Structure 1
Amino acid sequence: MGKLRAADAEKRAASGYGPDFLEAFARGLRVIGAFSRERPQMTLSDVARATDLPKPSVRRALYTLTCLGLAASDGRTFRLTPRIMELASAYLGSNMITTIVQPACERLSEKTEQSCFAAVLDGYDIVMIAHSLHGRPDVLAPTIGLRRPAFNTAAGRAILSQLSDEALDAWLEKLQPKVMTDFTVTDKRALRAEILNVRRQGYAVTVQELRRGYHAVAVPLRRFDDTTIAALCIAAWVEDSSVGSSTDDYLAALRDEAQGLRPQLL
């Protein structure tokens, strides 16, 4: 087995993962994660640059993925295959939240004629676990597994609002907010005040902070014991509906679904 690069060895030591940490497995996951909508096909060199991994490691990872049918190659470029979804299906099949929440998203989308999704907090991102599209899916197309920043999204703020003050302050301390539109709030004091306001009112609204042209309304999704586990969110184009006139309607629908789901989420 090849030795770790000095830099990688230092990273492992600093991480505190310990001797049982499988570096090769972690590198393989990094290779999978390098592919995206913007980078659906890449050469070996492209993947090496995207992952900051040595080419021999990337070559072995891509070869293994190809042998397992999780990736395919035309001899020069590599791409993931639909079989990669088996990895996601393991989570989806074992997670009651996704199974129960998906029909709720579909009901909300049908009722409001807007896109609806459910998301969980993962570090500094939200991750979509259920969704239903309506209207303009070309740009408002959250797909299962899609990650978005938590700090400037309604779903993210709805979940963050349920953290304790201490946990929220610790989260904000390490946050590195990036400007995404002219409306993005990046000042941490202002963000904290906004999240606390979401806690008081019980819902979050964002207007063009993630992307110009649409706003979102979200509520925390709680399980039976009152623990917040996700957020339900409706995203709508500003040109399709006025924020002021539609928020109340969206909010009522979101709250009804969240309340109905609560006894089912064990």
Structure 2
Amino acid sequence: MSEKSKKQHTEQGVEPAAPAVSASGEVGPLKRDLVAGLEKGLQVIEAFDQERSRLTISEVAQRANLTRAAARRYLLTLTHLGYVRHEQKVFSLTPKVLRLGQSYLHSARLPRIVQPMLYRLAYSLEEAASAGVLDHDDLVCVAAVSAGRVVSSTLQPGTRVPAFCTANGRVLLASLPQQQVEEMLARLPLEPITEHTIVSKERLLLEIARTRAQGYAVVDQELELGLRTIAVPLKNFRGLTVAAMNVSVHAARIPVEDIVERCLPALLKAQVELSALL
């Protein structure tokens, strides 16, 4: 809005609509241009997760920060549309919700470009490989190849895991401004997922700094016992990190001190080839 328009609105007693501000402090569209109902409907879907697959209206209201009456209306609407199933007083998601994720995987450019390289990488090393992106504080897998090695159930498209304790996640965190990393770690309730999970914020900052300096990250059984991973950033032709790519091995087969020598050269080669395509 121009300064003249702002002045006219003020003289008429109408304040210009304030722009929406995201959690990261970025200024977005004007609030009047946003559809609040769509935002809240998606929050209702996001209220369900692996630990809470069946929820009552009150539980959805609490997790989505809605009144009970509003949560009921959204749940009934989603049930009518086929995204939610209603059994007595409990609601759960239906497989139709998968269409939302499939729309990204089928239309996004990144998974299509990375998938063939993951095949080459995985089968040349005979290990599992995957690529992921950051979504707020989580790492989301967007492409994966097992190469016959089933080392973890988290290595499949759509899987969401905490970023701070994964190799792909640390590579992506290392690409962010230092202040943003510190703010994220300050607000996160860091909890040990395994006995190896680093939960000290000071140590995590050191690990992220080390990743930034050396250009790769190694994580040893912090997300899952028996799972070791090494990851590198995937950068576009402008040098901006757009994703991360890793190789995952079983701890019983490859010692942590050998993973760099065995897997890093192949990862770096794939990284260079993909940088010309992203």
TM-score normalised by length of structure 2: 0.78
Aligned to 1:87: 100
Alpha-carbon distance in structure 2 between the residues aligned to 1:131 and 1:61: 34
The structural deviation recorded for 1:217 is 0.6
Is the CA contact 2:166–2:222 (under 8 Å) kept in the aligned structure 1? Answer: yes
Aligned to 2:8: none
- Please, which of 224, 227, 245 is the counterpart of residue 214 of structure 1? 227
Aligned to 1:109: 122
Which shifted more, 156-165 or 227-236? 156-165
- Please, which of 80, 83, 98 is the counterpart of residue 67 of structure 1? 80
Q: What amino acid is the match of 2:150?
A: R
Note closer, same or farther for the CA distance 1:104–1:13 as it changes in structure 2 (3 Å cut).
Answer: closer
CA deviation map 1:80-100 (0-9, x unaligned)? 233222222332344211111
* Aligned pairs (5 A) from 1:148-163: 148-163=161-176
- Please, which of 142, 150, 168 is the counterpart of residue 136 of structure 1? 150
Note closer, same or farther for the CA distance 1:119–1:34 as it changes in structure 2 (3 Å cut).
Answer: same
Aligned residue for 2:249, secondary structure, equals: strand
Q: What amino acid is the match of 2:82?
A: G
- Please, which of 29, 46, 53 is the counterpart of residue 33 of structure 1? 46
Unaligned runs of 5+ in 1: 1-11
- Please, which of 176, 182, 202 is the counterpart of residue 189 of structure 1? 202
Instruction: Report which of the two structures shows the higher radius of gyration computed on alpha carbons.
Output: 2
Aligned to 1:199: 212
CA deviation map 1:232-263 (0-9, x unaligned)? 01222212322222332221222122211111
Which shifted more, 75-84 or 167-176? 167-176
Alpha-carbon distance in structure 2 between the residues aligned to 1:64 and 1:255: 48
Is the CA contact 1:109–1:132 (under 8 Å) kept in the aligned structure 2? Answer: yes
Q: What amino acid is the match of 1:100?
A: I
Is the CA contact 1:112–1:250 (under 8 Å) kept in the aligned structure 2? Answer: yes
Q: What amino acid is the match of 1:136?
A: V
Alpha-carbon distance in structure 2 between the residues aligned to 1:143 and 1:64: 30
The structural deviation recorded for 1:79 is 2.9
Say what the alpha-carbon RMSD is for the aligned residues: 2.8
Alpha-carbon distance in structure 2 between the residues aligned to 1:141 and 1:147: 8
CA deviation map 1:119-177 (0-9, x unaligned)? 1122222111112234336x433333322222221111112222344444444444443
Is the CA contact 1:140–1:235 (under 8 Å) kept in the aligned structure 2? Answer: no
Alpha-carbon distance in structure 1 between the residues aligned to 2:66 and 2:210: 43
Alpha-carbon distance in structure 2 between the residues aligned to 1:186 and 1:156: 15
Alpha-carbon distance in structure 1 between the residues aligned to 2:275 and 2:103: 24
Is the CA contact 2:131–2:244 (under 8 Å) kept in the aligned structure 1? Answer: yes
Aligned to 1:223: 236
Alpha-carbon distance in structure 2 between the residues aligned to 1:14 and 1:155: 24
Alpha-carbon distance in structure 1 between the residues aligned to 2:60 and 2:120: 40
Is the CA contact 2:132–2:245 (under 8 Å) kept in the aligned structure 1? Answer: yes
Which shifted more, 18-27 or 207-216? 18-27
Alpha-carbon distance in structure 2 between the residues aligned to 1:40 and 1:149: 19
Unaligned runs of 5+ in 2: 1-19
Which shifted more, 73-82 or 247-256? 73-82
Which shifted more, 166-175 or 238-247? 166-175
Q: What amino acid is the match of 2:270?
A: E
The structural deviation recorded for 1:228 is 0.7
Query: Percent of counterpart pairs with the same letter?
Result: 34
Is the CA contact 2:230–2:259 (under 8 Å) kept in the aligned structure 1? Answer: no
